[in-house]
Structure 1
């Protein structure tokens, strides 16, 4: 469930204008929704929604639609984990 919001949060980190607006992230081939912001959840965009079938919803609610960027998400995840590791004991 965390991934659902994390990818959208990564996009927002580089584009703060997306804050408090609906955002969806599409699969590799831009076929379906794989992640979404809380604002997108509120307008009932389901996980796995086929993008072309929901284009009217994206247009009606001015949803920002992004292709997945796994290099960005991996880098941001590594940064978060690095910060968190400074606050947790190391396993031996």
Structure 2
């Protein structure tokens, strides 16, 4: 079963997927992700971003690496691919 996510959450998941952040050793910086988010959704700022991150974490799709600056990575690649495909995002078969 695929969870229905907001457009903001799918954007974040797609950025992490495209950048191949699939390992705890290769997390994506939260500030860079927030900057990309703000460019894509200039009318929506901090609160929808935090809600999207929270929803993805609670669903088990992403994990946070606690550092001086938090980093994110996809912890459930199969679920992420299914979610992106079901919402019309183009993705390959999960081959890296």
Same fold (TM over 0.5): no
Larger radius of gyration: 1
- With a CA cutoff of 8 Å and minimum separation of 6, indicate the structure with the bigger relative contact order: 2
| TM-score, normalised by the number of residues in structure 1 | 0.30
TM-score by length of 2: 0.30
